[in-house]
């Protein structure tokens, strides 16, 4: 059962209050990580605002990408990237950032102070869905700086996911929700647009141990190897006494992940003959969601390894991803460990 907080008119728990209270459990905390989370919450509100009016901006915008104010319109994912960079670069808490939208590390500009954390993010995941009004999301991951200089370096970014100190996502759906973990459970906050605050709505989220949903893009089936085909047939209840999972695939990772986190199940983006390392990014998508799902009692793997144990070698590294209820992810591991099969030629 989903644990949902009911607020009264006079008593609410804002994300700020929640973070402060969580920080009190750590007498050694300097408040810097809390600051990173507040700044991200502000960026999320700004992006939510842009996403909400995306259709309107298109209608009101003049031709050639200019809107009615004469400003050049930007693609929303580029805009979301800029919003996050500008919300985060001056607080003195980060030493560098990396975004799915940018090829290299984003340094903290002078004269701003550098801090001890690195932020990695996907500013607007699933952005090809915006035109058809499907939920999209922002995903973020925070790691501690491990190099000595002022600025963050590639080495700081390429840390295995188990070293994350915080991770979260924002879903811009029928309501806007921010879900995060700092390693003390997973907590969800819903944006109350009337007061512009994220309010605690889903404390201590736990993913059901076995699944309800299967989220996978079946159109790649002919490109999967036989073991992947086999486990997907099992999930669909074919040639097995097992009850079939309900197939639900939005094609927007945050939306698919969020539904399965609350309802149980598995999201899979396997490697296939054309994308032999899958499609999703280890640092911006798989790692933060893996930290969250483990904190909620679930699991995440690339089919062989626990996602959080993979040591990244590149900033934009891709990975196969199986993530969700622990028993479903375990079944994938067992099935894929069967003798190797050759991929079907593309």
Return the structure tokens found at 119. Answer: 């932020």
Q: Restricting to residues 224-263, which ones interact with ligand AFP according to CB under 6 A?
A: 251-253
Nearer to ligand AFP, 128 or 151 (CB): 128
Return the structure tokens found at 240. Answer: 């097995």
Q: Restricting to residues 46-85, which ones interact with ligand AFP according to CB under 6 A?
A: none
Nearer to ligand AFP, 38 or 267 (CB): 267
- Classify 35 as helix, strand or coil: helix
Q: With contact defined as beta carbons under 8 Å apart, do 257 and 169 qualify? A: yes
DSSP 101-155: TSSS-EEPPTTSPP-SEEEEEEEEETGGGGGGT--EEEEEEEEE--SSSSS--HH
Return the structure tokens found at 301. Answer: 């793997």
Q: Which of 35, 115, 126, 152 binds ligand AFP (CB under 6 A)?
A: 126
Q: Which of 99, 127, 287, 335 binds ligand AFP (CB under 6 A)?
A: 127
Which of these, 158, 144, 169, lies nearest to 283 by C-alpha position?
Answer: 158
Minimal distance in Å, beta carbon 269 to ligand AFP?
6
Return the structure tokens found at 170. Answer: 């924002």
* Residue 125 binds ligand AFP, judged by CB under 6 A: yes
Residues 37-71: b if buried by 16+ CB within 10 A, e if exposed: bbbbbbbbbebbebbeebeebeeebeeeeeeeeee
Nearer to ligand AFP, 145 or 258 (CB): 258
Q: Restricting to residues 266-305, which ones interact with ligand AFP according to CB under 6 A?
A: 279
Minimal distance in Å, beta carbon 124 to ligand AFP?
8
Number of residues that bind ligand AFP (CB under 6 A): 10
Nearer to ligand AFP, 127 or 190 (CB): 127
Minimal distance in Å, beta carbon 72 to ligand AFP?
22
Minimal distance in Å, beta carbon 254 to ligand AFP?
7
CA pair distance 41, 16, nearest whole angstrom: 9
Select from 10-18, 108-116, 122-130, 287-295 the region that touches ligand AFP (CB under 6 A).
122-130
Q: Restricting to residues 201-220, which ones interact with ligand AFP according to CB under 6 A?
A: 217
Binding stretches for ligand AFP (CB under 6 A): 125-129, 217, 251-253, 279
């Amino acid at each position: 059962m989903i644990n949902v907080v009911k607020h009264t008119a006079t008593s609410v728990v804002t994300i700020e209050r929640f973070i402060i209270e969580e920080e009190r459990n750590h007498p050694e905390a300097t408040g810097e990580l809390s600051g990173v989370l507040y700044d991200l919450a502000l960026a999320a509100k700004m992006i939510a605002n842009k996403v909400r009016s995306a259709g309107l901006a298109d209608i009101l915008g003049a031709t050639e990408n200019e809107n009615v104010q004469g400003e050049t319109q930007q693609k929303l994912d580029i805009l979301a990237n800029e919003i996050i960079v500008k919300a985060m670069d001056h607080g003195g808490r980060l030493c560098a950032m990396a975004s799915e939208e940018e090829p290299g590390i984003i340094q903290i500009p002078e004269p701003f102070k550098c801090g001890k954390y690195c932020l990695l993010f996907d500013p607007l995941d699933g952005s090809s869905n915006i035109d058809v009004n499907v939920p999209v999301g922002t995903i973020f991951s925070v790691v501690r700086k491990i190099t000595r200089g002022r600025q963050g370096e590639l080495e700081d970014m390429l840390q295995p996911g188990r070293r994350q100190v915080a991770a979260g996502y924002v879903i811009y759906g029928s309501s806007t929700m921010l879900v995060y973990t700092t390693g003390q459970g997973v907590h969800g906050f819903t944006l109350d647009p009337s007061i512009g605050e994220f309010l605690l709505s889903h404390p201590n989220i736990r993913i059901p141990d076995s699944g309800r949903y299967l989220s996978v893009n079946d159109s790649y089936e002919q490109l999967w190897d036989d073991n992947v085909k086999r486990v997907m047939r099992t999930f669909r209840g074919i040639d097995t006494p097992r009850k079939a999972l309900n197939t639900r695939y939005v094609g927007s990772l945050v939306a698919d992940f969020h539904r399965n986190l609350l309802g149980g199940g598995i999201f899979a983006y396997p490697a296939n003959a054309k994308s032999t390392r899958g499609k999703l990014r280890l640092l911006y998508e798989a790692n933060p969601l893996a930290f969250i799902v483990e904190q909620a009692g679930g699991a995440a793997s690339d089919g062989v390894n626990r996602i959080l144990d993979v040591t990244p070698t590149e900033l934009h590294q891709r990975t196969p991803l199986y993530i969700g209820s622990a028993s479903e992810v375990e079944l994938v591991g067992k099935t894929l460990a069967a003798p190797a099969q050759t991929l079907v030629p593309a």
